Amino acid sequence: MIRINLLPYRAARKKENIRFQVNIFIGSIVFVGLLVFWFNSVLNGRIQTLTSEIKTTKDQVAKYQQINNEIAEIKKNLALLEKKIEVIASLERDRKAPVQNLDGLYTLLVEKRMWYTHIEEKSDNIKISGIALDNQTVADYMTRIEKSERFHNVKLAAVKQYKMQGKEDVSLKQFDVNFKKKASPTIGKEVKK
């Protein structure tokens, strides 16, 4: 009978099977390594792209921040200029007011019957001190003030007897009158120009 030794075949088959499994294992490790390398490359590419986008965005933010700072400085300068223009406009508007007030007070004066000794103006309040020939002159003066377009709220503060020393003793009336200026309607028109 012929004997066939199958052991070496089994051993060879076993070796072949172990080699095949080792090759698959090594191939799997190489494949996983390649896959990790490829994934790492993809992630590094994304990181570099995002880093460059972040840098670009930060540069733009810095640029816009500088522009915002310039705009804020311009707004601050504009506000300062507007305040200066407003002050100039008020000075221009109020430049003629004292002269006009004095002219208005002069036109209210009862000629040859009274004169001013003191004029005081604080904001809208005016205090007049003067000397008149009699009480009727003071009353006429107060009536003129009340009827004027520039002044209102007339109040007689005091009337005193005043004797003027000279050749003849003359008896006069010393008076104090308080009143207020009316708001000028031309202020709004002058500002609009």
Residues 76 and 104 reside in one and the same domain: no
Judge residue 129's burial from the number of C-beta atoms within 10 Å of its C-beta, 0-12 exposed, 13-18 middle, 19 or more buried: middle
Angle between helices 97-108 and 135-147 (to 10 degrees): 140
Across the range 16-41, mean pLDDT stands at: 95
pLDDT surpassing 50 at residue 189: no
Within 10 angstroms of residue 83's Cβ, the number of other Cβ atoms is: 10
Reply yes or no on whether the pLDDT at 3 is more than 50.
yes
20 and 110 in a common domain: no
CATH code for position 121 = 3.30.1360.100
Q: What is the pTM of this model?
A: 0.51
Domain, as residue range, for 7: 1-95
Specify the 3-state DSSP secondary structure of 53.
Answer: helix
Q: Give the pLDDT score at 188.
A: 42
One-letter amino acid at 21 equals: Q
Q: Would you say 144 and 186 are in contact if contact means Cβ atoms under 8 Å apart?
A: no
| Tokens, residue 108 | 């209210």
**Pair 62, 118 in one domain:** no
**Mean pLDDT for the stretch of residues 13-38:** 93
Domain count, the chain: 2
Summary mean pLDDT of the chain: 87
Percent of the chain scored above 90 by pLDDT? 53
CA distance 128 to 146: 14
Query: In the structure encoding, which two tokens stand for residue 106, read together?
Result: 């002069």
Residues 111 and 91 in one domain: no
Tell me the C-alpha distance between 147 and 190, whole Å. Answer: 25
Both 84 and 135 in a single domain? no
Question: Which of the pair, 60 or 104, is modelled with greater confidence?
Answer: 60
